[in-house]
Amino acid sequence: MRILRVKGRSLVKGESEGFALVTSQPISFFGGVNPKTGLIIEKGHELENAKITGKILVFPYGKGSSVGAYVIYSMAKLGTAPKAIINRETEVIIASGCALANIPLIDKLKKDPIKVIRTGDYVKILKNGLIEIRKKR
């Protein structure tokens, strides 16, 4: 099995592992995700109807209302949140939500995460922003 290690900036610290769900499109947690089901509900989104619960969610950055931060926090409380988030370059909505919910958050990887990680890869978040990608066969 091919294993890749990439370093990034660890914004919300913590270790985690799980299967990756990757999109090249930004995500709006407020209105774009159903916090009760963990499904992406934004019409026409690449990940429409995909479940983000328990995944290592990889996307470029957050968009939409700042209430998105409250939604991320609620999802953690409901048990529907992703295990960790990897952004190309994050912004305040995702950062605030992950910080409150204590969901590990990494951005600014040495390689573009949207290119090196594919949906279904197994991703481990190690300490200090180091991630390990086990490529799906």
Partner 1 sequence: MYLKREEEKMLDGEYGEVLAKCMRLLVTVGELFEAKKLINVKSCHISGVSYKNIGDFGLKLLKEFTVENVRVKVKTTINPMGMDRSLWFKLNIDKDFAKKQFKILSLFNKIGARCECTCTPYLAGNKPKMGENIAWAETSAAIYANSVLAARTNRESGLSALASALTGKTPYYGYHLSENRKPTIHIKVKFKPLNQSELSILGYFIGKAFPNSVPIFSGLNVNNLDELKILGSGLASSGNIALYHVEEITPEAKIFSKKGLLKNLEKFEVSRFEIKRCLEELNSGEEDFNSIFLGCPHYSLTQLKNLSKSLNNKKIVKKFYVSTSKRVYAKAEKLGIISKILKCGGFVLRDTCMVVAPIEKFKIKGIITDSAKAAYYLKNMGFKVKVKSLEECVKFAVEN
Residues that bind partner 1 (CB under 8 A): 9, 11-12, 35, 66-67, 69-71, 73-74, 77, 90-93, 95-96, 98-100, 102, 105
Rounded Cα–Cα distance for residues 50 and 70 (Å): 21
- In the chain, count H helices and then E strands: 4, 10
Q: How far is the CB of 99 from partner 1 (least distance, A)?
A: 4
Residue 65 annotated as catalytic:
yes
Which of 62, 133 has the CB closer to partner 1?
A: 62
| Residue 132 in tokens | 């390990």
**Closer of 29 and 131 to partner 1 (Cβ):** 29
Toward partner 1, which CB reaches closer, 5 or 36? Answer: 36
The secondary structure of residue 62, as a DSSP letter, is: B
CB atoms within 10 A of CB 28: 19
In the set 10, 24, 65, 66, the catalytic residue is 65
CB of 22 to partner 1, least distance (A): 22
Give the nearest distance from C-beta 2 to partner 1 in angstroms: 31
Report the catalytic residues: 65
